[in-house]
Amino acid sequence: MADSSAATAFAERLDRVRPHTRLIALLALGHLVIDLNQGAIPAVLPFLRTAHGWSYAQAATIVLVGNLASSLIQPLFGYFSDQLARRWILPASVFLSGAGLALVGVAPGYLTVLGLVLVMGLGVASWHPEGYKTATGVAGDRKATALSWFSLGGNVGLALGPPLATALVTSLSLAGTLGMLVPTLIVGALILMMLPHINRAAAPARAAAAVADRGVNMPAAMALLILIVAVRSWATLGFTTFVPFYYVDDLKADPHLVGTLLFVFLGAGALGTVVAGPLADRWGPRPFMQWVFLAAIPFGLLFLHTDGVLAFVVLGLYGAVLTSSFSVSVVLGQAYLPRNAGMASGLIVGFAIGAGGLGVTALGWVADHWGLATALTLSALMPLAGFATARFLPTPRDKEIQ
């Protein structure tokens, strides 16, 4: 009997440690398509601005609407996710985000574009809390590493969105955004078919979490982390929004470079999240969050004083270092709110990032009055505020994450 009990306990422990790699890969693919749609917006904006004659502030407002729609409502979706799993949201959100983005190129005017970006944002908002909670449930014990791969899907999507959208628009005119429906329909249908398997795999983790005493919520620490992530978002969105305009309008570069620039910045960020996972598991999420901001600052400033291939290299390094804390911040957020994992994901991936998007409109005003280089310089200096604030992050009480 003792041997049998020990074997059973060992098997249960093994199930908790070992991640469901195929399901994580599928969820990462869904994350890729969600953020592929969201990431296409900055690349399409210069073409929309030229076609409709908008100001920089109007273009930045579109980014703001997209980020607010995809962010402010995320904690609400997270709350419902904590009460009861609603995994049908996963395929539904993929379809919604794709439809909103695909129709942007054929929209007749500014208000219609804003409405469609709002629809796309709602799809993004509904995906992330349930997606991160589900991925955590099938991730095993090494959460930072597993979630870094899940986050890789999203960051790869953000990186591929600009070149794909640029290729479609330059080849087929603005109506080429309709081509973004293809990956949306394929991956959305695949997730829909796999929902029963996802539900079965996540059920044991959900039951274990219900009985485990993993600590108490730390709302003050969570509020501080939200501020830090908002600062990171401000810096990231400042570059993704205004680097294309800087190259096309100030440097008079070929508009085809827009997709490549954003791919380098966001693609390097995707690789940074994969490297960050094992490092954060070894060093701890909190120390990692503190020092990664300081390490990013020199690359952001150096980008504005380089050109040619070196500028692309520096831009990639800035993106890699700055974005590397993405999945780590989700792990840390779930450690600060261990009893509300869905809410934590919604607050970090949604609300905090959207709050950072508020700064993009201010940067648009700066760009209109003092130039794009000034707006980008401010974006490059933002991580300094993140570093100073991260020094005050407390140690989580979560027993699994210190």
Encode the chain in three state secondary structure: CHHHHHHHHHHHHHHHHCCCHHHHHHHHHHHHHHHHHHHHHHHHHHHHHHHHCCCHHHHHHHHHHHHHHCCCCHHHHHHHHHHCCCCCHHHHHHHHHHHHHHCHHHCCCHHHHHHHHHHHHHHHHHHHHHHHHHHHHCCCCCHHHHHHHHHHHHHHHHHHHHHHHHHHHHHHCHHHHHHHHHHHHHHHHHHHHHHHHHHHHHHHHHHHHHHCCCCCCCHHHHHHHHHHHHHHHHHHHHHHHHHHHHHHHHCCCCCCHHHHHHHHHHHHHHHHHHHHHHHHHHHCHHHHHHHHHHHHHHHHHHHCCCCHHHHHHHHHHHHHHHHCCHHHHHHHHHHHCCCCHHHHHHHHHHHHHHHHHHHHHHHHHHHHHHCHHHHHHHHHHHHHHHHHHHCCCCCCCCCCCC
pLDDT > 70 in the chain, percent: 86
- 151 domain residue, yes or no: yes
Distance in angstroms between the alpha carbons of the first and the last residue of the chain: 36
- 146 domain residue, yes or no: yes
Q: How far apart are CA 52 and CA 272, in angstroms?
A: 36
Per-residue pLDDT at 98: 93
pLDDT > 90 in the chain, percent: 26
pLDDT in tens, 309-342: 899 999 999 999 998 888 788 888 888 888 877 7
Average pLDDT over residues 53-73: 80
Tell me, yes or no, if the pTM score tops 0.75: no
Task: Choose among 326, 322, 356, 378: nearest CA to 230.
Answer: 356
Average pLDDT over residues 89-97: 91
Q: Which residue has the higher pLDDT, 32 or 397?
A: 32
Per-residue pLDDT at 119: 92
Q: For residue 61, which amino acid is it?
A: T
Per-residue pLDDT at 203: 57
- 221 domain residue, yes or no: yes
Cβ atoms of 174 and 105 within 8 Å: the answer is yes
Specify whether the backbone of 250 is left (phi greater than 0), alpha (psi in -120 to 50) or beta. alpha
- 230 domain residue, yes or no: yes
**Total of domains in the chain:** 1
Q: For residue 379, which amino acid is it?
A: S
- 398 domain residue, yes or no: no
Query: Can you give the residue range of the structural domain that contains 177?
Result: 13-390
Q: Which residue has the higher pLDDT, 275 or 222?
A: 222
Per-residue pLDDT at 2: 47
Give the CATH number, domain containing residue 365: 1.20.1250.20
Cβ atoms of 206 and 367 within 8 Å: the answer is no
Per-residue pLDDT at 204: 52
- 87 domain residue, yes or no: yes
Q: How confident is the model at residue 7 (pLDDT cuts 50, 70, 90)?
A: very low
Average pLDDT over residues 380-384: 93
Cβ atoms of 361 and 376 within 8 Å: the answer is no
- CB atoms closer than 10 angstroms to residue 367: 27
Pick from 47-51, 124-128, 214-218, 373-377 the range whose average pLDDT is largest: 373-377
- CB atoms closer than 10 angstroms to residue 282: 10
- 400 domain residue, yes or no: no
CB proximity list for 240: less than 8 A, separation 6 or greater: 42, 262, 265, 266
Is pLDDT at 192 greater than 50 in this prediction? yes
pLDDT in tens, 138-191: 766 666 667 778 878 887 887 788 889 988 998 888 899 999 999 999 999 999
pLDDT in tens, 353-363: 767 767 787 88
Q: How confident is the model at residue 212 (pLDDT cuts 50, 70, 90)?
A: very low
Lowest mean pLDDT among 46-50, 350-354, 381-385: 350-354
Q: How far apart are CA 247 and CA 264, in angstroms?
A: 14
- 1 domain residue, yes or no: no
Is pLDDT at 207 greater than 50 in this prediction? no
Task: Choose among 155, 199, 163, 193: nearest CA to 33.
Answer: 155
At 186, give phi and psi (nearest 5°).
Answer: -65, -50
